[in-house]
Structure 1
Amino acid sequence: MARFTSGTRAEAVVLAPRQAIWDVLTDPALVAELTPLLRRIDAEGEHWTWHMTGLDVLGVQVSPTFTERMSYRELERIDFTHEPPAGVTERAGVEGWYVLTEVPESEGGGTHLATSLDITLELPLPKLSSPAVTAAMRGVMGQMGERFSRNLLAHLGVGQR
């Protein structure tokens, strides 16, 4: 097994109050509903276990399940760190954060939302295939991010700039 990591960063001004966005990002059932390729999230306290659908990474089929410890700074920041339960080996994990900043009405209002995600997968592929694997991972993450963003805006009934 080789480990492959790919990351993505994004930011936008969402034309919704910070509280509305916070309420979505802290609701595991709603996050699962809005996130493509995600079957469900099981939440137990500060730990969320994400169950992805089947993904094809260079001909290798994977259905990752990974547990994240969620940390919150009310209405400002959400951090997530891969933290599987004791004795459990997970072949996928995510490290990242969301930062929400209120945009003053004098600047058009809304919420500046910034995200950072680094995803690691262990796959039965040679490490030499890293450029192709990470490119495939970036493509999937890009599609997921774009669709999540579209779904979030539709759910909130707002646009972005």
Structure 2
Amino acid sequence: MAVFSSSKRSTAVVPHPRDAVWAVLSDAKLVARLTPMVRSIEDHGSTWLWKLAPIEVLGKSIGLSFTERMEFTPKERIVYTHEPKGAERAGVEGTYQLADSGTGTRLTIELGVEVDLPFPKLAKPAVQASMHAVIAAMGVGFARNLERELARRER
């Protein structure tokens, strides 16, 4: 077993008011529904338990769950810090940053993922490339689904 990591930072202007974007990002069940490969998120107040659908990495199906301490600064920032409950093989550290931008909201998402996987360190380049691809796909899908949800709410 070895620990592998990947990180991503993205910024986009979401053409919706900050209040609407905040309402979505602060709702665990809705974030789970909008994020590809996330099976569920259980809101336990100050912590959220994320459960991912099994992910294929180098021919192995890996199912992961991780607990995140959630710190909310209403309509400005959500900071999440890994706070494991028991034996968790994955964790995420990151932020959602919201700011006004014209008639929309500038949303910056930063995250770093660490996963303890049953692969030798020698597999690091291939595993991290797979992790990066999965994170990118999740981000693209989340952005598309967020836009649809916000547009649906405006109708």
Same fold (TM over 0.5): yes
1:61 deviation in Å?
1.4
> Normalised by the size of structure 1, how large is the TM-score?
0.92
SS in 2 for 1:80: strand
1:129 aligns with 2:123: yes
CA–CA distance in structure 2, aligned partners of residues 34 and 64 of structure 1: 18
The equivalent residue for 1:82 is 82
Matches within 5 A, 1:6-45: 6-45=6-45
Q: How does 1:97-116 map to 2 (within 5 A)?
A: 97-103=95-101, 108-116=102-110
Large movers: runs of 4+ above 6 Å: none
Using the size of structure 2 for normalisation, the TM-score is 0.95
Structure 2: which amino acid aligns with 1:76?
Answer: E
Aligned residue pair count = 152
Gaps of at least 5 residues in structure 1 are none
Structure 2 counterpart SS, 1:125: coil
Paired with 1:2 and 1:60, the residues of 2 have a C-alpha distance of 15
Deviation at 1:78, TM superposition (A): 0.5
Which whole-Å deviations, capped at 9, do the CAs of 1:73-114 have from their partners, x for residues lacking one? Answer: 1111100000012xx0100010000100011xxxx4200000
CA RMSD of aligned residues (A): 1.0
Structure 2 unaligned runs (5+)? none
Matched residue, 2:58: 58
Q: Percent identity?
A: 48
Q: What amino acid is aligned across from residue 52 of structure 2 in structure 1?
A: M
Q: How far apart, CA to CA, are the structure 2 residues paired with 1:98 and 1:109?
A: 19
Cα deviation, residue 60, structure 1: 2.0
Tell me the residue number matched to 1:118: 112
Q: Which amino acid aligns with 2:17?
A: P
